[in-house]
Amino acid sequence: MAILDMRLLPDPILRKQAKKVAKVTPQLKKLVENMVETMRDQRGVGLAANQVGSLQKVAVIETPEMEEPMVLINPEIMKAEGERQVEEGCLSVPGYRGLVNRSEKVRVKAMGLDGKIYRLNAEDLLAQALEHEIDHLNGILYIDHLVDHGSLYKITYHEHDDEEDEFDGDLDDGEDEAEESTESVAVETSASGAED
């Protein structure tokens, strides 16, 4: 296994649509293994293939409650219900967090590493992670879902540990927990490097 290099904004691969995987090959399994290792190394909750330079429709998610990581090949949101505002971050957008609109519940269809299609219903943290990672595979970043233009924050790091249950997208909190500062950053394309 290997830890892969993270692609960061404004790397154009983050804005590309990943391609559907035709079948599970040994190379794909290796990519998934490396993605899991990279996600854990970065202390992320999820990781999409374009974040590590591959345009295959593959993502992995591991929330604290999971015993093993979830592998999502060609994942699709079949249904989304409700709306809520949550704070989120992304390993590819280090140093920032934002307040975004997310669904309350989602229904997702994906293929597993065994080549079989599965469906799952999710809410809360897992629903948020699913939306975040599936967005990545479609070239969408959480900063595209900001509640408003003032809701992207630069974060400062200091040690405290009362944010265990908070979802940080696939943001790394590392050894230091992150907390938003009062300094907000305008979501200009020039500031984030994002394209509309």
Residue numbers of the site for Zn ion (CB under 5 A)? 90, 169-170
Nearest distance from C-beta of residue 92 to Zn ion, angstroms: 5
CA distances from 35 to 3, 8, 59, 96, 129 (A): 7, 15, 8, 22, 15
d(CA 112, CA 110) in angstroms, rounded, equals 7
Nearest distance from C-beta of residue 115 to Zn ion, angstroms: 26
- Total length of the chain: 196
Residue of 87, 133, 164, 166 with catalytic role:
133
Catalytic residue flag (residue 133): yes
Nearest distance from C-beta of residue 176 to Zn ion, angstroms: 19
Ramachandran category for residue 50: left, alpha or beta (phi over 0 → left; psi -120 to 50 → alpha): alpha
d(CA 178, CA 194) in angstroms, rounded, equals 23
The residue sitting closest to Zn ion, measured at its beta carbon, is: 90
Which sequence positions are flagged as catalytic?
Answer: 133
